[in-house]
């Protein structure tokens, strides 16, 4: 899995929005699919136009998230979230803004409001999991 720094470096090399869009789709293609058994009503994230599932585990101080979607562009955006939050502590997760990362990467103005809302819903669920521990 790529780190958010690697993704940012790659995105900075791309000047055309269509190239960035293709890159995000490629991130989605590379994201491993979640086992069907993990795609339940409990793991489904509400507030997303596409179907999105999120699971959480914690080992020591670090949190690990797995996610999946039925849409490749959404899977790519989910890969960004995983790169941003996987392995982080609760305090690090609380202090990190995925929305700001979208802006920094130059993606927020190119993603539809529905996708941004779904992205925020997944981020909110990640932060809620982290806040419980």
Boundaries of every domain in the chain? 4-131
Would you mind telling me the total number of residues written for the chain in this entry?
133
Q: Which residues are catalytic?
A: 48
Fold category of 4-131 in CATH: Sufe protein. Chain: A (3.90.1010)
**Structure pTM?**
0.93
% the chain with pLDDT above 90: 79
Counts for the chain of helices (H) and strands (E), in that order: 6, 2
Q: Would you say 88 and 133 are in contact if contact means Cβ atoms under 8 Å apart?
A: no
- The CA-atom distances, in angstroms, between 27 and each of 44, 53, 68, 94, 128 are 21, 17, 12, 24, 25
pLDDT tens sequence across 60-112? 999 999 999 999 999 999 999 999 999 999 999 999 999 899 888 888 888 88
Q: How far is CA 43 from CA 92, 93, 95, 122, in A?
A: 23, 19, 24, 11
Measured at the CA of 95, the angle between CA 25 and CA 28, to 5 degrees, comes to 10
Cα(72)–Cα(57) distance, rounded to whole angstroms? 24
Digit-coded pLDDT (tens) for 55-68: 999 999 999 999 99
């Amino acid at each position: 899995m790529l780190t958010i720094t690697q993704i940012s470096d790659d995105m900075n090399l791309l000047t055309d929005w269509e190239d960035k869009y293709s890159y995000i789709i490629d991130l989605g293609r590379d994201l491993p699919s979640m086992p069907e058994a993990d795609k339940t009503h409990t793991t489904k994230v509400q507030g997303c136009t596409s179907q999105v599932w999120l699971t959480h585990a914690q080992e020591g101080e670090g949190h690990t998230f797995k996610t999946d979607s039925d849409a490749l562009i959404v899977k790519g955006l989910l890969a960004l979230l995983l790169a941003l939050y996987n392995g982080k502590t609760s305090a690090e997760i609380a202090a990190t803004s995925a929305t700001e990362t979208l802006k920094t990467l130059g993606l927020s103005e190119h993603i539809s409001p529905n996708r941004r809302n779904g992205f925020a819903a997944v981020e909110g669920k990640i932060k809620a999991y982290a806040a419980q521990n």
